[in-house]
Chain A
Amino acid sequence: MSLLTRTAGATPDLAPSRGPRESLLSRGAALLVMGVFTLYFLVPIWWLFIASTKDRGDLLTTNPLWFADGNFFANIGDLLNYGGGIYVRWIGNSIAYAGLGALLATIFAGMCGYALAKYRFRGRETYFNIVLGGVLVPATALALPLFLLFSQVNLTNTFWAVLLPSIVSPFGVYLSRIYASASVPDELIEAGRIDGASEVRTFFTISMRLMMPALITVFLFQFVAIWNNFFLPLIMLRSEELFPVTFGLYTWNTQLNQIPELRTYVLVGSFLSIVPLIAAFLLLQRFWRNGLGSGSVK
């Protein structure tokens, strides 16, 4: 994961080509391989889009990879109204879990990584190594322990059961430390001290701005991790109104045999739920590429 910090810093698309001109044959072969796999990667998403524009009958009878009679907005309307608007609720939950969780996780990890980079205190390296051990603990390994613990204090099946564990990002601490030690000059903090600004104020007004590219990366990855998290909602949540959207769609999908009309909703719902994610990735990718390109991390 650490390599991701470099991804953006070093993506000169327009870099002069390395080496002599390639033969037509090898260019053709390269293009063919990449073309075939482009179909592999994009056709499923295209199919999902097409399927979500069709009503139930057309789904089975018309060309699966091309439009039929344009039912997209009718389908969306039905989806949003189904079950008292539960889908909207799920999207809201996902945004709350992932948005709030990633925001808090980023701030706390940024503060901690900054302290580890810029201040010397006893036990600092031990502390950092324990946090790094946390990076290697897979999130699913924690789901059951968290469930056992939360059921002791009656916190299962609450909003907090999914939010609270999501605001811890050891990877964020790691990345923030690396980035802060490279991009926040000691002289700047010293200048703040001479001006009489408190350490905390210096962090929030100056250092944080310099760390922004790393913080955006932490935010993005934490956001995706929370949005995609499956085990935690599966083991913690029972009430439908607390579900995040991926988990809600999963429960609909398990009921397809009993309630066949859910199929359209599962397809439309799935498509709608990935659009903001792909959009965020494309937009933010440009953002952190620019940021990291001008930063000093390489």
Chain B
Amino acid sequence: MTATEVLVTQDRGGAAKPPGRRRPTPHKGAIAIFTGPFSVLFLLFYLIPIGFAVWQSLLVVQREGLYGKPTEVFGGLAQYALVFQNAPFWESVWRVLLFGVVQVPVMLGLALLFALLLDSPALKGKKFFRLAFFAPYAVPGVIAAIMWGFLYSPNLSPFTDVTQVVDFLSPQLVLWSIANVVTWVYVGYNMLIIYSALLAIPSEVYEAARLDGAGQVRIAWSIKIPMVAPALVLTAVFSIIGTLQLLAEPQVFRSFSAAVSSTYTPNMTIYATSAIPNPNLAAAFSVVLAVATFVLSFTFLKITQRKAEQ
């Protein structure tokens, strides 16, 4: 749980004194009142559903004879065997991975560029740009997708000169058209996270570089970017998680483009499978996706940490 450790390091108050041992806990009643409501809700709507999904994924439906009443019996890892044979699911996984490999670096690269420009003395009107770039984050994914769907359309778009020549909704391009929607929404948000990390760098750090005659570009490259690396890692992890969970934008694009199938992303596959209904297989998909998400963001954290140590 490296991510957890990263998050915990900011806590300063908790570990001030060594924990009292063997003494009765004072204020037990108050602690129960404070933690009680959250604990109950967390148990009911986080832990139990997860446990229930794992349990459901271990069941298979059996019928007595051809037309018998279906009953659910324990099937071990039978559903998982089906998951690994399910071609559409793996296609959707590869599709979002391809999406992420291109979209996440582009988005974070832009966010970093904007944050560096906001932090540089060369730019005027910072407050305006910060708000303008952040505004799309207030637009829900569904609404952003609807809006861009119209913008891409060959008839309705304000840019018909372009959209009549380039079909943004074609099978070849639609994935990247969706990538543009996601980028549009989240660049400003990531920009703010990186920008706040830049502001936390004390200005003395720059003094030496400036005395050596380093220009702004050199300072950005050799000092600023390495110092905001932790913020970049954090935004990258959240972007990877977001990419694997992609759902609203492609689901909306089904209305605009026939190229987006009902199993276009892993979450769409889960939804389509649960709608069949095949809850056991859908539960197994969910578990595999959750584990894959965790492994991928964890691996990414590990790789970047090793790089940092070198």
Which residues of A line the B interface, CB within 8 A?
1-4, 6-7, 10-13, 17-22, 26-27, 29-31, 33-34, 37-38, 40-45, 47-48, 51, 59-60, 64-65, 108-109, 111-112, 114-122, 124, 127-129, 131-142, 144-149, 152, 164-165, 167-168, 170, 173-174, 177-178, 180-182, 198-200, 203, 224, 227-228, 230-231, 234-235, 246-247, 249-250, 253-254, 256-257, 266-267, 270, 273-274, 277-278, 280-282, 298
Contact: B139 with A274, CB < 8 Å? yes
What secondary structure prevails in chain B residues at the interface with A?
helix
In the assembled complex, the CB of B310 is this many whole angstroms from the nearest CB of chain A, namely: 24
Contact B286 A253 (CB under 8 A): no
Kindly provide the distance from the CB of A60 to the nearest chain B CB, expressed in whole angstroms.
Answer: 7
B196 near A144: Cβ-Cβ < 8 Å: no
Given A13-B126, A121-B31: 17 more A-B contacts, CB < 8 Å = A13-B127, A19-B206, A34-B117, A34-B125, A40-B184, A45-B136, A112-B35, A112-B37, A115-B35, A132-B7, A134-B46, A141-B245, A142-B49, A177-B11, A181-B12, A274-B143, A277-B140
Binary contact track B175-195/A, C-beta < 8 Å → 1, others 0: 000000000100110001101
Interface residues of B in 256-302 (CB under 8 A from A): 267, 270-271, 274, 279, 282-283, 286, 289-290, 293-294, 297
Q: Would you call B123 and A30 a contact (CB within 8 A)?
A: yes
Complex partner residue of A142 from B50, B155, B252, CB under 8 angstroms: B50
A266 & B146 in contact (Cβ 8 Å cutoff): yes
Give the Cβ gap from B64 to chain A, nearest Cβ, in Å: 23
Interface pair B286/A119, CB less than 8 Å apart:
no
B132–chain A nearest beta-carbon distance, Å? 5
Verify A7–B143 contact, CB threshold 8 A.
Answer: no
CB atoms of A120 and B131 under 8 A apart: no
Is B121 on the interface with A (CB-CB < 8 A)? yes
Q: Which residue of A lies closest to B149 (CB)?
A: A253
Given the complex of chains A and B, what is the CA–CA distance between A142 and B210 in angstroms?
51
Asked whether B42 is an interface residue with its Cβ less than 8 Å from the other chain, the reply is yes
Whether B10 and A178, one on each chain, are in contact in the complex, defined by CB atoms closer than 8 angstroms, is yes
- Docked-complex contact A31 and B50, CB < 8 angstroms: no
**Complex partner residue of B123 from A31, A114, A165, A178, CB under 8 angstroms:** A31
The answer to whether B81 has its CB under 8 Å from any CB of chain A is no
Contact yes or no, A277 B117, CB < 8 A: no
Q: With the chains together, A173 CA to B35 CA distance in Å? A: 10
Cβ A30 vs Cβ B146 within 8 A: no
The reply on B208 being an interface residue by CB < 8 A is: no
Q: Is A250's CB under 8 angstroms from B31's CB?
A: no
Query: A224 CB to closest chain B CB, in angstroms?
Result: 8
**Can you list 28 A-B pairs with a CB-CB distance of less than 8 A?**
A10-B196, A18-B206, A20-B210, A31-B125, A112-B39, A115-B31, A120-B20, A129-B4, A138-B293, A141-B245, A141-B290, A145-B52, A145-B286, A148-B53, A148-B56, A149-B49, A164-B44, A168-B41, A181-B14, A199-B27, A230-B251, A246-B142, A249-B143, A250-B252, A273-B140, A273-B143, A277-B139, A282-B131
Which of A108, A114, A136, A139 contacts B37, CB < 8 Å? A108
- Select the stretch in B94-102, B165-173, B197-205 that faces chain A: B197-205
**B209 nearest CB neighbor, chain A only:** A19
Q: Is there contact, CB below 8 Å, between B41 and A117?
A: no
Please determine whether A120 and B156 come into contact, CB atoms closer than 8 angstroms: no
Chain B residue numbers with a CB within 8 Å of A145 are: 49-50, 52-53, 283, 286
Which B residues are in CB contact (< 8 Å) with A266?
146
Contact check, A111 vs B37: say whether CB atoms are below 8 A apart. yes
Q: Do the beta carbons of B231 and A27 come within 8 Å of each other? A: no
Give Cα A114–Cα B141 distance, bound, in whole angstroms.
Answer: 33
Q: Give the number of residue pairs across the A-B interface with Cβ within 8 Å.
A: 306
Contact between A181 and B11, CB atoms less than 8 A apart? yes
A7 to B195, CA, bound (A): 8
Among candidates B34, B134, B270, residue contacting A111 with C-beta atoms closer than 8 Å: B34
Highest count of chain B CB atoms <10 Å: which of A19, A27, A180: A19
Secondary structure of the A contact surface, majority rule: helix
B247 pairs with A38, CB closer than 8 A? no
Q: Which residues of B contact A (CB under 8 A)?
A: 1, 3-4, 7-8, 10-14, 17, 19-20, 25-31, 33-35, 37-39, 41-42, 44-46, 48-50, 52-53, 56, 110, 113-114, 117, 120-127, 129, 131-143, 146-151, 155-158, 184, 187-188, 192-193, 195-197, 199-200, 203, 206, 210, 216, 219, 231, 234, 238, 241-242, 244-245, 247-248, 251-252, 254-255, 267, 270-271, 274, 279, 282-283, 286, 289-290, 293-294, 297
Bound: A199/B32 CA distance, A: 11
Known: A119-B30, A121-B25, A174-B7. A234 touches B206 (CB 8 A): no
B231 touches A3 (CB 8 A): yes
Interchain CB contact under 8 A, A120 and B25: yes
Q: CB < 8 Å: which of B133, B146, B155, B216 contacts A37?
A: B133
Could you say which residues of chain A place their CB within 8 Å of the CB of B120? 22, 30
Q: Using Cβ atoms and an 8 Å threshold, which residues of chain B touch A224?
A: 138
In the complex, are the beta carbons of B122 and A22 less than 8 A apart?
A: yes
> In the complex the two chains form, what is the Cα distance from A144 to B289 in whole Å?
12
**A2 with B10: in contact, given A17-B121, A34-B123, A234-B271 (CB under 8 Å)?**
yes
Contact B150 A51 (CB under 8 A): yes
Q: Is the CB of A44 within 8 A of B49?
A: no
CB contact under 8 A between A182 and B12, given known A33-B117, A174-B7: yes
Q: Which of B8, B25, B126 has the most chain A CB atoms closer than 10 A to its own CB?
A: B8
